[in-house]
Amino acid sequence: MRLLLIGAPGAGKGTQAKRLAARFGIAHISSGDLLRQHVRDNSSLGQLAAAYVEKGDLVPDGVVMDMLRKPVTAATRGYVLDGFPRTVEQAEASYAVVRTLGVEVQAAIHLDVPQPELVHRLLSRGRGADDTEAVIDHRLSVYQERTVPLLEYYAGREWMFTVDGARPAEVVHEDIVQRIQKLATFTAPN
C-alpha cells in the first residue's frame, strides 16, 4: 500500500501517517521529520536545510528528493508519505522516478482543517523554531502558494480524496481507512 498525505501545517499529517503505518504495516516516511533529524545530526544535508526549516521556507527540491530516494525504495511493503510531494514540481519529478520502479502512489489523502484550528494546534504544540506565531504565519502562506496548486493539480483523480481533519484523530483515521478501502486502486482484480 502506497499513500500520500497532503495538508497544511498542523493538519495532522504526522498523526494520521503514524496510525496508517501501524494499521497497515507500512513505513511512515516524513520529509519534515527526516529534515529535522539531519539538522540535529548536523549532517551536510542538515547544514544546508536548517535555515529553510527554521524560517518555514521549502527546502530545495533536489535536496528533498535525494533524501527520500533511499527510504522510499527500501519500503518494499509500502509507505505513507507525509509532507512530500508538497509542490507540483515535486509531484512531477517524483512521478518520473517512481513510475520506472513501479511504486506509484495508490491514494492521496487531503486533510482539510480550518486555519484558526491549525494555528491553535501549532501554538499549543510548540515544536521548536518553526512553531512561533510569525513562522507559523509564513508556513501557512507557503502552503497556500505552493501546495494548494498541488491539490488543484490532483483534483479529479479518482485516487485523491479530501477528509475533514478537524474531527478527533481517531474519527479522521477511521474515515481515511474506509475511503481507502473503497478505492478502485485497491479493490480492482489484478
Q: Which residues bind ligand AP5 (CB under 6 A)?
A: 7, 9-15, 31-32, 35, 52-53, 56-59, 64, 83-84, 86, 90, 121, 125, 130, 139, 168-169, 172
Using CB under 5 A as the binding rule, whether residue 9 contacts Mg ion is answered as no
Instruction: Tell me whether residue 111 or residue 180 sits nearer to Mg ion (CB atom).
Output: 111
14 touching Mg ion, by CB under 5 A: yes
Q: How far is the CB of 167 from ligand AP5 (least distance, A)?
A: 6
Closer to Mg ion by Cβ: residue 72 or 131: 131
**What is the smallest separation between the CB atom of 177 and Mg ion, expressed in angstroms?**
20
Number of residues that bind Mg ion (CB under 5 A): 3
Residue nearest to Mg ion according to CB distances in the complex? 14
SS (H, E, C) the chain: CEEEEEECCCCCHHHHHHHHHHHHCCEEEEHHHHHHHHHHHCCHHHHHHHHHHHHCCCCCHHHHHHHHHHHHHHCCCCEEEECCCCCHHHHHHHHHHHHHHCCCCCEEEEEECCHHHHHHHHHHHCCCHHHCHHHHHHHHHHHHHHHHHHHHHHCCCCCEEEEECCCCHHHHHHHHHHHHHHCHHHHCCC
> Near Mg ion by CB under 5 A, which window of 11-19, 104-112, 118-126, 129-137?
11-19
User: Does residue 10 interact with Mg ion by CB under 5 A?
Assistant: no
Which residue, 90 or 159, has its beta carbon nearer to ligand AP5?
90
| Between 24 and 33, CB nearer to ligand AP5 | 33
Buried b (16+ CB within 10 A) or exposed e, 31-49: bbebbbebbeeeeebbeeb
Binding site residues, Mg ion, CB under 5 A: 13-14, 32
